[in-house]
A and B are shown apart, each in its own frame.
Chain A
């Protein structure tokens, strides 16, 4: 028996401001160094750029002071730093594209999306006072998520770009609804699993040390598996399919602690992917490009060749340990250097040292999400924070793993870094939700003082048990013991 005493939690808003200064310095220095590296002079509008970014970040910081004073102090600076580095790299690639007279202008649009995202994140923090409100919309979230996933298939608004049918274009504004579907799905899974996790965890036979679920409890996982396969087949999008399915399996695992779900999920996905690889040529091409990228035939093949992947690898190799420096590499030689392959671009100009720092930023972000999940006292919040943190980590893994040829390349965007409005907005909303939940998790519990009954007079018991973690906050009621000794009358 041990007693656990948490240290006094500091709100950490001052620490956040300090880290925010560092993060903004990184963003602005990146922008300035791009100018220095290409033209030999700092861009003229660097002051305005710095002022704009600082205004956005400080505004969000003030919203946190106002509405979520105990929110985690590390999440916001890390997100700002990643977004800033991404902006600088997109600006740098813009300049290179302009020099080659390719379509450019990504940086301004991304800056606009950043502003919209930060405003939306602030709105989420202001309007959503308690994350448990979202639990009321469990099944609404499911319908919204499924709707968003199938939206690109609707004729008229759905659009096929580069073979993948994942775009929706309404009135000139394109978006990838799957990016928002992952948030809605996380809300649905959290609400669904928090009520059903006991049946999923405890009922069912045990085979080879694995607690298998009952066949009828398999229903939901099979539905999600079917949806993710449908995404794979109909929209030809391996990445989103992997992301949605991975999210569900991870949240099942968090909810039930049963390894069998991970095993079942992995087997189902590997099986599905193998069938898809043999049955559909565009998936098979991805596997070929992954396994034999340096074959001349596969390198030259278009579409579905390994040219992009191999050029990205060459870029990474050119960067080496310390990189070529901002503006001194040739990241624009890789197709989609500003979105799908921004990791390769950053790896070229910042080197392994810089890329590892960025990956550590994602690690920190995920760790804070998981720590929030541990700290928050309600089951729904635990599952939601765990799921959202996982989805950021998993998306980064799928993208970076694809670019570095660890796994087959899939078309996902790197959170915060890559060009793309939908992705940026969705990830800032995730950050806002994590901040909201972490405020709940780190807020000191109301202290329950020792009850001093007058006739007893010896307050040995202090009712500070309400501080304990888990969904069962507070002392358990009822006059029954939770367990019964067998063989007693």
Chain B
């Protein structure tokens, strides 16, 4: 066999080794850069700029749904939609800042338990921390025996008390308020 063939085979073998290494790394690349990380605040800002941006269905924890129309199962009753009452519960501070819960006629349960309407990712809140509910055309807030308490404008909430629109409610590290 000629010298040239042997040299070519020798270098070809090294190339084959590197083809394996590089194709293995090619497979790994998908894993190394395999997660998409979205900053919630930035996502919210972008969402407020373009309100009809579709949200992924399987987003982790609470998906900041800006428009009530985006989530299909939400059926806001006409009574609440017309009239001057608040239409949404907005988280203004805390880890979930910017999250909006559209209000219907149903009470809103707030806490860390996954069964809550608004699941707080907050170490200072109890599993079932507080409840916001409508009665006689007005919204009330009620503490559900939480450890760290619920505060309506720096006043600790004991029984159900009326919740005026725009007044901050503190639950753990989060602050919520009703908005029109």
Contacts and interface: CB of A to CB of B under 8 A. Distances in A.
Interface string B45-84: 0000000000011111111010000010111000000000
B61 A19 contact: no
Contacts, number: 209
Interface residues of A, number: 73
Given A451-B114, A456-B109, A1 B95 contact: yes
B20 A77 contact: yes
A174 interface: no
Contacts of B31: 371
Given A7-B34, A456-B108, A481-B148, A357 B114 contact: no
Contacts of B43: 3
A484 to B, nearest CB: 6
Interface of A: 1-7, 12, 15, 18-19, 22-23, 25-26, 29-30, 33, 36-37, 40, 73-74, 77-78, 81, 85, 322-323, 325-326, 350-351, 353-354, 357-358, 360-361, 364, 367-368, 371, 447-448, 451-453, 455-465, 467-468, 475-485, 488
20 contacts: A1-B96, A3-B38, A3-B40, A5-B58, A7-B34, A19-B27, A22-B20, A29-B16, A73-B27, A77-B24, A451-B115, A456-B107, A458-B104, A458-B106, A459-B73, A462-B59, A462-B61, A478-B127, A481-B112, A481-B148
B74 A30 contact: no
Given A3-B59, A451-B114, A457-B106, A81 B20 contact: yes
Interface stretch (B117-125, B134-142, B160-168): B117-125
Contacts of B28: 74, 364, 367-368, 371
Contact of A4 (B35, B97, B104, B118): B35
B138 to A, nearest CB: 19
Given A7-B35, A323-B14, A483 B149 contact: no
Contacts of B58: 5, 447, 462, 464
Nearest to A457: B106
A482 B173 CA distance: 13
Contacts of B19: 22
